[in-house]
Amino acid sequence: MTTSYSLLNNETGEKVDLPLVKGTLGPAGADVGKVYDKMDLFTYDPGFTSTCSCKSAITYIDGDQGVLLYRGYPVDQLANHSSFIEVAYLILHGELPNKTELDEFDASIRRHTMINESLLSFYKGFNYDAHPMAMLTGIVGSLSAFYHDTTNNKDPKHREIFAHRMIAKIPTIAAAAYKKYFGQPFMYPKNSLDYCSNLLHMMFAVPAEDYEINPVAAKALDVLFILHADHEQNASTSTVRMAGSTGTNPYAAISSGIAALWGPAHGGANEAVLKMLEEIGDVKNVQPFMDKVKDKNSGVRLMGFGHRVYKNFDPRATIIREQCHKVLKELKINDPQLELAMKLEEIALNDDYFKSRKLYPNVDFYSGIIYKALGIPVNMFTPMFAIARTVGWVAHWNEMNADPAGLKIARPRQVYTGAPVREYQAISTR
Ligand code: CMC
């Protein structure tokens, strides 16, 4: 492997060395931080396709091989053997917990599930048909109006309390958004239940009746949450880091991540996939739809396909596909949309358009079918993603704040393409 790089001005012969920043796995980063000072030159990389914004020890992805590791552990091993709470501990702390550590962490998360009663009145300000992601963004942002005594970002204890509160409260906040949508009374958390069972309870129980948690549904959610827990510097996590780099209130930083997640190119894709399947409607319409996808003028994309980093199977999609078949079988659900999705996948994987662009199913292609089987409405799919990804956002925010070098305010440069300097003209002369 090359050990040194430099940037050469072909006209003047001037050269700037680019020191290598090396990690444990994957390509090194060429440090271009001094290029502007030394060459009066910016580097240009819209969408950050080749740019590392930070060093991180949390998650590793090899997009060509379809590898995803949390703190070194392959995601499929975690999905098969671990639990979401254990994975949350791992992502936050860097190591798998022993029994005592896990019990203490689990107990702390269970203890922090309630939200301040006055927050419940915030939901009243939303119209009944507000998208739950709009409510999530607003309510999580408004958590920044509380907890003033524990938001010193430099204090590790404060950061830990914030992490536990955020991970514990996000299901309560999302479930309340769901209840608002249906006009049902808000259900308080029941801390005897595990994380995903508690979420199901808050969403589906009503005060008038007993509600029994379906263990198949709770387990399916748990696996989905493990798979969504972190994905290194994706758009929402980068947004949390960027907002956090200003030293803003941590709940406000998480709220900015939720806003970024909402878009259909990111976490909103799970909702977009289900809408796409509804629109296609029948297997006989699959081929005409695929023709539209391949027509660049149509602006139609095959949602749930393609990824900025994976140029091979998204390892999460492989696990979710299996889970999808398992859950539907266990719940005895025959969903024609699964057949549609499989047909789309089959056509895409054998089509030159998709093969040549290395477009494969991503994490969102099958997750919506599972959520639907669990009785979760389409507009709650992205909030489900947000609940799981909160672990990653919090871990990255914490990692950044724990490292003083990581706390440099994120402030990209630009290539200016506007008008050159010109004189102000009085309105009478325009
Ligand atoms: N359907 C049809 N064509 C596609 C698709 C797709 N889903 N994705 C990419 N392409 C084409 C694109 O038109 C371009 O073609 P060409 O080279 O001829 O111009 C080429 O593939 C490269 O695409 P790109 O948009 O430059 O790639 P990107 O890395 O900027 O975008 C992406 C990645 C995920 C935004 C994109 O693949 C996409 O829009 N997929 C559908 C939305 C989706 O499923 N998003 C969820 C991502 S995974 C979960 C998450 O991260 O939140």
**What are 2-45's pLDDT values in tens digits?**
788 999 999 999 999 999 999 999 999 999 999 999 999 999 99
Averaged pLDDT, 385-396 = 98
Q: State the pTM of this model.
A: 0.94
How many CB atoms are closer than 10 A to CB 286? 19
**What's the 307 CA to ligand 1 centre distance in angstroms?**
6
Q: What is the largest CA-CA distance in the chain?
A: 79
Pocket test of ligand 1: the residue of 240, 302, 316, 357 to mutate, having most ligand atoms within 8 Å of its CB, is 357
Angle, alpha carbons 377-327-358 (nearest 5°): 80
Q: What is the pLDDT of residues 109-150, one digit of tens each?
A: 999 999 999 999 999 999 988 999 999 999 999 999 999 999
Residue 167 has pLDDT above 90, yes or no: yes
Averaged pLDDT, 280-285 = 92
**What's the 64 CA to ligand 1 centre distance in angstroms?**
16
Residue 1 has pLDDT above 80, yes or no: no
Closest atom of ligand 1 to CA, residue 362: 48
Cite the active site residues.
266, 307, 364
Closest atom of ligand 1 to CA, residue 305: 7
Residue 307 has a pLDDT of 93
**What's the 321 CA to ligand 1 centre distance in angstroms?**
20
Residue nearest to atom 12 of ligand 1 (CA): 357
Q: Which long-range contacts (CB under 8 A, 24 or more apart) does 342-351 make?
A: 343/283, 343/286, 344/280, 344/286, 344/289, 344/290, 344/302, 347/286, 347/287, 347/290, 348/290, 348/302, 348/305, 351/290, 351/294
Residue nearest to atom 48 of ligand 1 (CA): 362
Q: Both tokens of residue 405?
A: 């070098």
Averaged pLDDT, 179-191 = 94
Q: What is the C-alpha separation between 15 and 18, in angstroms, rounded? A: 10
CA distances from residue 52 to 166, 220, 409 in whole angstroms, order as listed: 27, 34, 15
**What's the 22 CA to ligand 1 centre distance in angstroms?**
29
Q: Which amino acid is at 107?
A: A
Residues whose beta carbon lies within 6 Å of some atom of ligand 1: 47, 234, 265-267, 269, 293, 301-308, 357, 359, 362-364
Of residues 354, 358, 348, 359, the one with CA closest to residue 306: 359
**What's the 39 CA to ligand 1 centre distance in angstroms?**
35
Residue nearest to atom 51 of ligand 1 (CA): 266
Residue 405 has a pLDDT of 75
